[in-house]
């Protein structure tokens, strides 16, 4: 039997750089790794074939889809700082550029594993009758987005529409698909450090690590009260490898992939990261936290979700998978990775005396 050939679109990004090597390690697989840059992907591998291309070129998409057995589509502009500042680019990257991919997979009868987002659930978890739910469930939770002037929800809306396109091709045109909704994956190589290998505001992990590396304050929007359920990249990748292997079980399914046990406030994340830095750099100056208005970081049109906890019963059942890494186990290796890649901080830091993990 020839090896399965999997196209990974966005293989050079944070998630792709974890997933592509895991797929070749897990089986007799050939990977077509498509991206515009591969700095995060690590050393060359004989079964990972790098194709430098943009996914908004339909000819490339058609060629890649024809050649492979399955497509993992990971490309996105998934940084909230862009949703209200570059909404048109966000819509193209999350929707317009990917419709041709969905059509190509349907036309050529190729399996599509599409990475959507937990953001589709929106501001808060509500059931069909508008009653609050604790966890976000694939079949029971509605999509509650904000009004148009809260451009934060541009991304969620574009991602939701692509999910509906995929669903419709599955139902009416025989497309074999699985949609993954990742819930706040954190790990090595996430995003960028502003002023070093990118500009703007990265997601919260890289924002805080960037501040710690510079000796700046860690900025807490809404007092750091919003909560997220963070999952380690390692646990996340375990689920994705299982999706690839369990083809029949995952056909036509939408799956939350996250870790409900790691539901913490952003303030607690700031404290945990500060402590992990201090453990690596004993004797350093205290890390400082500062409350800011969301507008100070994101400008007008930002909005947020107070809490985002995944219901992962379906992923457990279909994948025979369980996320295992706690926040305490997840963070130190991430800090090591950032220190190794970006060097020691200019102004050393340590947590402030008496600093508590907050709400």
- Which residues are near ligand UGA by CB under 6 A? 78, 80, 117-119, 155, 182, 184-185, 203-204, 207, 219-221, 224, 226, 228, 266, 297, 304
Q: How far is Cα 5 from Cα 32, in angstroms, rounded to an integer?
A: 7
Residue 82 contacts residue 25 (beta carbons within 8 Å): no
Cα–Cα distance for residue pair 291/222, rounded to 1 Å: 7
Q: In the complex, what is the shortest distance from the CB of residue 51 to ligand UGA, in angstroms, rounded to a whole number?
A: 25
Give, for 160, the enclosing helix (H) or strand (E). Answer: helix 154-173
Please state the closest distance from residue 35 (CB atom) to ligand UGA, in A: 19
Least CB distance to ligand UGA at residue 143 (A): 14
* Cβ-based nearer residue to ligand UGA, 29 or 116: 116
Question: Catalytic residue at 121?
Answer: no
Q: Are 358 and 224 in contact (CB under 8 A)?
A: yes
Strand partners, 71: 7, 112
Instruction: Tell how strand 70-73 and strand 111-115 pair up.
Output: parallel
Contact 163, 254 (CB under 8 A): yes
Q: How far is the CB of 358 from ligand UGA (least distance, A)?
A: 12
- Catalytic pick among 83, 121, 155, 298: 155
Decide if 40 contacts 64 (C-beta within 8 A): no
Q: Which is nearer to ligand UGA, 29 or 259 (CB)?
A: 259
The span from the CA of 121 to the CA of 116, in Å, is 11
Nearer to ligand UGA, 111 or 152 (CB): 152
Distances (CA, A) of 338 to 76, 199, 325, 342: 23, 17, 19, 6
For Cα atoms 273, 13, 308, give the angle at the middle one, nearest 5 degrees. Answer: 50
Nearer to ligand UGA, 68 or 271 (CB): 271
* Residue 357 · residue 267 · CB < 8 Å: yes
* Shortest Å, Cβ 244 to ligand UGA: 20
Are 259 and 230 contacting, i.e. CB atoms less than 8 angstroms apart? yes
Minimum CB separation from ligand UGA for residue 102, in Å? 19
Dihedral over Cα of 42, 44, 48, 52: its sign: positive
Q: Which of 281, 263, 269, 149 is nearest to 213 (CA)?
A: 281
CA dihedral (91, 19, 198, 289) in degrees, to 10, reads 100
CB of 67 to ligand UGA, least distance (A): 29
Q: Give whichever of 182 and 238 is closer to ligand UGA, judged by the CB atom.
A: 182
Query: Looking at beta carbons only, is 48 or 260 nearer to ligand UGA?
Result: 260
Dihedral sign (CA 179, 184, 185, 190): positive
Nearest to 286 by CA among 297, 266, 270: 270
Return the number of the residue (41 or 257) whose C-beta is nearest ligand UGA: 257
The residues that are catalytic are: 155
């Amino acid at each position: 039997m020839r090896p399965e050939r999997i196209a990974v679109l966005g293989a050079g990004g944070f998630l792709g750089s974890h997933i592509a090597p895991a797929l070749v390690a897990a089986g007799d697989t050939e990977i077509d790794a498509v991206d515009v840059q591969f700095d995060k992907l690590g050393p060359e591998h004989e079964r990972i074939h790098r194709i430098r291309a943009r996914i908004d070129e339909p000819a490339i998409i058609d060629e890649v889809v024809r050649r492979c057995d399955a497509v993992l589509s990971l490309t996105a502009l998934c940084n909230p700082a862009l949703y209200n500042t570059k909404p048109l680019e966000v819509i193209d990257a999350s929707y317009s550029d990917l419709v041709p991919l969905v059509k190509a997979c349907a036309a050529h009868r190729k399996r599509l594993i599409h990475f959507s987002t937990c953001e589709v659930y929106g501001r808060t978890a509500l059931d069909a009758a508008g009653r609050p739910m604790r966890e976000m469930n694939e079949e029971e939770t509605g999509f509650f987005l904000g009004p148009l002037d809260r451009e934060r929800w541009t991304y969620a809306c574009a991602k939701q529409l692509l999910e509906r396109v995929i669903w419709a091709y599955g139902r009416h045109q025989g497309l074999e698909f699985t949609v993954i909704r990742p819930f706040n994956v954190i790990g090595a190589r996430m995003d960028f450090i502003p002023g070093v290998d990118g500009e703007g505001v990265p997601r919260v992990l890289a924002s805080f690590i960037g501040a710690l590396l510079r000796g700046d304050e860690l900025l807490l929007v809404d007092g750091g009260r919003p909560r997220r359920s963070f999952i380690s990249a390692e646990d996340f990748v375990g689920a994705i490898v299982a999706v690839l292997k369990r083809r029949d079980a995952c056909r036509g399914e939408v799956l939350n992939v996250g870790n409900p046990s790691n539901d913490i406030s952003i303030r607690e994340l700031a404290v945990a990261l500060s402590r992990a830095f201090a453990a690596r750099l004993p004797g350093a100056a205290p890390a400082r936290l500062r409350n800011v208005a969301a507008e100070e970081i994101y400008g007008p049109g930002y909005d947020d979700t107070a809490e985002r906890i995944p219901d992962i019963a379906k992923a457990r059942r279909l994948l025979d998978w369980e996320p295992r890494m706690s926040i305490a186990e997840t963070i130190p290796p991430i800090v090591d990775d950032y220190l190794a890649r970006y060097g020691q901080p200019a102004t050393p830091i340590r947590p402030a005396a008496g600093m508590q993990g907050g709400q």
